[in-house]
């Protein structure tokens, strides 16, 4: 799995199918393109209060989206920020290195359990295992501070994500993430998308330090 990978879709804007739209506060040239969505069945099974919260989030997305403050985007959102990420494998772990905010995930594959501690992480705590050629990653201990996209889709601190990374060819991988959160949804639901290997011979992960650029915009 080692190499530099990237998604090619509009999930960063909205994980569900959506029309083109101008994003509040941005020039028209940065408008959101239409997209077919990455949610299985294109339906997110919100509890009724949560559907109302999502609509409220959507209305206020320009200021309420944690991405506006350049915060760590959580899992699975970090996968489809539209920036590349590099996978490196070691004997006891797989390390995912994201260009976006130089975020890092260490996925322990040594059979160790999640830490039995009252600690929350923006990117959760990841424990992996191999099922044949698939890396299955159990991610827990999230904050309630992250969203799934720029359209207000959200979760609570009870979020539990089960990711599956499956090689489907020399330069392609299938990424699937099952989402559980009994505080927000009525049942488990799933997103999936291909990951594409960057083909440039000397491709490197660079930097995208969103928050380091923000102060220069201040008046």
Pick the binder of other proteins from 23, 58, 121, 196 (CB under 8 A).
Answer: 121
Q: Is 201 exposed, middle or buried (0-12, 13-18, 19+ CB in 10 A)?
A: exposed
Is position 129 an interface residue for other proteins (rule: CB under 8 A)?
no
76 prior amide bond cis, ω within 30: yes
Sign of the CA dihedral with 44 first, then 143, 210, and 171 last? negative
For residues 65 and 176, which CB has a smaller minimum distance to other proteins in the complex? 65
Q: How are beta strands 172-180 and 134-140 bridged, if at all?
A: unpaired
Query: Restricting to residues 60-89, which ones interact with other proteins according to CB under 8 A?
Result: 69-72, 86, 88-89
CA distance 14 to 33: 10
Is position 138 an interface residue for other proteins (rule: CB under 8 A)?
no
Phi, psi for 28 (deg, rounded to 5):
-60, -30
For residues 1 and 174, which CB has a smaller minimum distance to other proteins in the complex? 1
Per-residue interface string for the shown chain with other proteins, residues 4-43, x marking contact by CB under 8 A: ----------------------------------------
Contact positions vs other proteins (CB under 8 A): 69-72, 86, 88-93, 95, 97, 102-104, 106, 108, 110, 112-113, 115-123, 143, 145, 202, 204-207, 209, 211-212, 215-216, 218
């Amino acid at each position: 799995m080692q190499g530099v990978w990237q998604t090619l879709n509009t999930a960063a804007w909205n994980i569900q199918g959506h029309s083109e739209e101008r994003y509040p506060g941005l020039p028209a040239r940065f408008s959101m393109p239409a997209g077919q969505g990455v949610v299985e069945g294109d339906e997110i099974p919100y509890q009724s209060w949560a559907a109302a919260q999502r609509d409220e989030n959507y209305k206020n997305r320009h200021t309420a989206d944690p991405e506006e403050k350049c915060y760590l985007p959580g899992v699975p959102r970090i996968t489809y920020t539209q920036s590349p990420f590099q996978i490196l494998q070691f004997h006891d772990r797989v390390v995912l290195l994201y260009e976006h905010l130089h975020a890092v995930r260490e996925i322990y594959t040594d059979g160790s359990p999640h830490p039995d501690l009252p600690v929350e992480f923006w990117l959760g705590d990841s424990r992996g295992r191999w099922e044949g050629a698939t890396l299955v990653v159990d991610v827990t201990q999230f904050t309630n501070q992250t969203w799934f996209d720029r359209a207000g889709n959200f979760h609570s601190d009870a979020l539990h994500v089960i990711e599956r990374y499956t090689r489907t060819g020399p330069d392609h991988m299938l990424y699937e993430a099952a989402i559980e959160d009994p505080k927000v949804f009525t049942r488990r639901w799933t997103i999936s998308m291909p990951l594409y290997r960057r083909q440039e011979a000397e491709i490197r992960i660079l930097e995208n330090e969103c928050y380091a650029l923000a102060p220069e915009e201040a008046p």
